[in-house]
C-alpha cells in the first residue's frame, strides 16, 4: 500500500510507526524526506500469519536529475512470518539521479521478517538508504542488501 494512503486511512500508522525508529531530525537527509517525500510503501504482516509467497515492492526513478525521497514502513506483527523483496531501480536512459530512502521496520514479538533489497541504479547515481529496525523479544530480522551495479556514491550509515 502507498505510504501516503496508509497514513490517511489508518491513524495508528502515524501514531505508532511514522518517524519512530528514525527520528525525522536525525540529519539533513531525514529532514528532507520528512518535508518533501515523494512516496513510499507500507507493508503490514498480520499477527499470527505466515505469508508463503514473498511480498514485493518496487520504486523506480524515471526522470533525469530527479531526487527521489521515499519513506517506507514495514510492520511484522506478533508471531507473523514473511519474506519481503523490495526493488529500487532507475530507467536505463535516465542519468544524474539521487535516491534518499528512509525505511522503518518493526518486528514484533515472535515475528520473523526476511527483507531483501535489490537495487539497480545507474553509475552516476547518489544513493542514501537509511534504515532502522525495532525488534521485540523473540523477533528475528534477516537483511540482505544487493546493489547490482556500481554507483557514484553510496552511503548507508549517515
For the segment 96-149, what is each residue's pLDDT rounded down to a tens digit?
999 999 999 999 999 999 999 999 999 999 999 999 999 999 999 999 999 999
Section 5-31 average pLDDT? 95
Is the pLDDT at 50 greater than 70, yes or no? Answer: yes
- Confidence tier at 158 by pLDDT (50, 70, 90): low
- Confidence tier at 155 by pLDDT (50, 70, 90): confident
Q: What percent of the chain has pLDDT over 90?
A: 95
Grid cell 521485540 is found at: 136
- Confidence tier at 32 by pLDDT (50, 70, 90): very high
Instruction: Indicate the pTM of the whole model.
Output: 0.95
Residue 157's contacts (CB-CB under 8 Å, 6 or more residues apart) are none
Q: What is the 3-state secondary structure (H, E, C) of 35-90?
A: HHCCECEEEEECCCCECCCCEEEEEEECCCCCEEEEEEEEEECCCCEEEEEEEEEE
The whole-number pLDDT of residue 156 equals 82
The whole-number pLDDT of residue 151 equals 93
What span, in angstroms and rounded, lies between the C-alpha atoms of 29 and 128? 8
Between the alpha carbon of residue 129 and those of residues 35, 88, 107, 110, 153, the distances in Å are 17, 10, 19, 27, 11
What span, in angstroms and rounded, lies between the C-alpha atoms of 70 and 79? 28
Q: What percent of the chain has pLDDT over 70?
A: 99
Arithmetic mean of pLDDT over the chain = 95
The whole-number pLDDT of residue 45 equals 99
Amino acid at each position: 500500500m502507498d505510504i501516503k494512503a496508509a497514513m490517511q486511512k489508518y491513524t495508528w500508522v502515524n501514531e505508532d510507526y511514522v518517524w519512530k525508529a528514525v527520528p525525522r531530525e536525525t540529519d539533513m537527509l531525514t529532514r528532507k524526506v520528512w518535508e518533501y517525500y515523494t512516496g513510499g510503501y507500507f507493508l503490514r504482516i498480520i499477527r499470527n500469519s505466515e505469508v508463503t509467497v514473498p511480498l514485493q515492492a518496487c520504486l523506480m526513478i524515471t526522470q533525469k536529475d530527479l531526487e527521489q525521497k521515499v519513506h517506507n514502513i514495514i510492520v511484522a506483527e506478533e508471531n507473523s512470518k514473511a519474506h519481503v523483496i523490495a526493488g529500487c531501480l532507475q530507467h536505463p536512459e535516465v542519468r544524474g539521479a539521487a535516491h534518499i530512502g528512509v525505511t522503518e521496520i518493526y518486528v514484533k514479538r515472535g515475528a520473523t521478517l526476511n527483507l531483501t533489497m535489490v537495487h539497480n541504479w545507474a553509475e552516476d547515481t547518489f544513493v542514501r538508504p537509511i534504515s532502522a529496525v525495532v525488534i521485540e523479544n523473540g523477533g528475528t530480522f534477516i537483511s540482505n542488501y544487493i546493489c547490482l551495479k556500481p554507483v557514484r556514491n553510496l552511503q548507508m550509515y549517515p
